[in-house]
Amino acid sequence: MINKQVPNVKEAIKGLTNGMTLMLGGFGLCGIPEHAIAEMVAMDIKELTCISNNAGVDDFGLGLLLKKHQIRKMVSSYVGENDEFERQMLSGELQVELIPQGTLAERCRAAQAGFPAIYTPAGYGTEVAQGKETREFDGKMYVLETAFKADFSFVKAWKGDAAGNLIFKSTARNFNPNMCGAATITVAEVEELVPVGSLDPNQIHIPGIFVQRIFEGKGYEKRIEKRTVRQKT
């Protein structure tokens, strides 16, 4: 049996260098690869292009990389929870490519499946479609969007085994499955790493063929962006 387990996050991100393009799973702060991001901050990797739904918050998630100006370009769908993101974008310090959320997911999935591009109706007739090929299908116009090309994909799962099989938990699944296998190297960090054969095959969301490295992380913070509580009655 192929063993893809590595002992720690340092080994997991080995080969990551300045200027690379990365995919990072998560939605807000839910399901983000916390340990991989923290290690990038510690290594002071710079000039990164990051493909992710958003950039976390000012003091957590990808916001930590933004704070140290380690990200050159963000390819995202949402930027509303990060003041530093907004400041860098408006000042011209950060390159930003905003993409419709579904298009972002499908460009990841196209890369995963080996498709060079997809056609989508999202963005037709807007700035999103400027400079891109458009085509009509059954009386409806579509925009050609190319698959992403990334060096590393970093995802977070609930459980996994040494063969790289992954199970995600609830909404923490989000963009993570689409990013598995969508880059040259996919690194999965999991809350619990179990022996091969322990996972129910019917419950596996991503088979190990899409993962190159896997490690178990400890002490996940799982921070909530906006905690809302009901008023006492």
CATH number at residue 187: 3.40.1080.10
Q: What is the pLDDT of residue 226?
A: 78
Does an H or E element contain 63, and which?
Answer: helix 63-67
Q: What is the pLDDT of residue 81?
A: 78
Is 140 within the bounds of a domain?
Answer: no
Opening angle at CA 17, ends 160 and 4, nearest 5: 25
The parent domain of residue 70 ranges over 9-112+149-216
Tally of domains within the chain = 1
Question: What confidence category does residue 126 fall into, taking pLDDT thresholds of 50, 70 and 90?
Answer: very high
Is 202 within the bounds of a domain?
Answer: yes
Instruction: Report residue 35 as tokens.
Output: 């340990």
Is 189 within the bounds of a domain?
Answer: yes
- Residues 45 and 119: their CA atoms lie apart, in Å, by 34
pLDDT over threshold 80, residue 23: yes
Query: Mean of the pLDDT values across residues 211-228?
Result: 89
Is 201 within the bounds of a domain?
Answer: yes
Separation in Å, CA 96 to CA 71, 75, 183, 192, 204: 10, 6, 20, 35, 34
Query: Whole-prediction pTM value?
Result: 0.93
Summarize pLDDT for 25-56 with one digit per residue, the tens: 999 899 999 999 999 999 999 999 999 999 99
Query: Mean of the pLDDT values across residues 72-85?
Result: 90
